[in-house]
Amino acid sequence: MTNSYQSLEYLAAKGTHAIPSLDLLRLHWSLTSDNPNDCIIILEDAKNSQSRQDPYSADHTINQQPATHPPVSSMSISVDLLDQYQPDWIDAHEPHADPDDFPNQDDHLCPIFDDENTITRCCGQDRPKPGPRLELLAPKGHFVSIRQYINTVHTWLRSMDDLLRAAEGVVSCWPLELEYHFIVPVASFSCLMLESTQTWTSEDYSREWEQAAEMARKLYPDVIHPRD
């Protein structure tokens, strides 16, 4: 059987930009636990942030649905916060090389530069690596389902918790504290724009979910009823 689905990147090169499926947009996703059941909520209607909410479970019917519209056979996923980590880290530490601004810097905390005059180590930290990529590949003949998307992406993001917290705190050189966590806005499904909940109030959460519903209404103006 030949695979009738194409990769996200192939479709984009042909001018078709896949979007998150309406089912994917039903997810309210927080990175508070290793178990997706504990930190993902499924809305009855993606376009209504006040609609009924169920906790995610592995046997929910949403799992079989495609993660994208149109469905794709594979996709590459990045995290904006981690793509920005290296350049932001360099910007944050380069001023430490200036003896006028930092005259009393301890030697072992001073910047070290490579042959291309790019800072490689400073303040006891190595320069962060470039942002990682996750390749999601559906089984042959299938599309990337919501089950595959959640299981793989959730595990991946949780495995990078320390890195995400360090990246969030790059300017202050102080990682995001454990009492805060990240939200996964599923509208940004292939280039994840994680949001830290530091300083968030209940109004911020409400605004976040209303913005997600607004995105669903904008992307799917003609779909009236929720699927189930």
Q: Which two tokens stand for residue 65?
A: 């649905």
The yes or no reply on residue 19 touching Zn ion (CB under 5 A) is no
Which residue lies nearer to Zn ion by CB, 96 or 158?
96
Which residue among 19, 41, 90, 123 contacts Zn ion (CB under 5 A)? 123
The yes or no reply on residue 187 touching Zn ion (CB under 5 A) is no
Which residue among 42, 122, 146, 183 contacts Zn ion (CB under 5 A)? 122
Q: How far is the C-alpha of 193 from the C-alpha of 191, rounded, in Å? A: 6
Give the sheet arrangement for strand 134-137, strand by strand. 134-137, 74-79, 191-192
Which residue lies nearer to Zn ion by CB, 82 or 122?
122
Site string for Zn ion, 57-96 (x = CB under 5 A): ------------------------------------x--x
For residue 120, the SS3 value is strand
The yes or no reply on residue 158 touching Zn ion (CB under 5 A) is no
What distances in angstroms separate CA 5 from CA 8, 63, 137, one per listed residue? Answer: 9, 18, 11
Q: CA 227 from chain center: how many Å?
A: 25
Which residue lies nearer to Zn ion by CB, 19 or 97?
97
Q: How far is the C-alpha of 172 from the C-alpha of 169, rounded, in Å? A: 5
Q: How far is the C-alpha of 58 from the C-alpha of 71, rounded, in Å? A: 20
Which residue lies nearer to Zn ion by CB, 88 or 208?
88
Residues in contact with Zn ion by CB under 5 A are 93, 96, 122-123
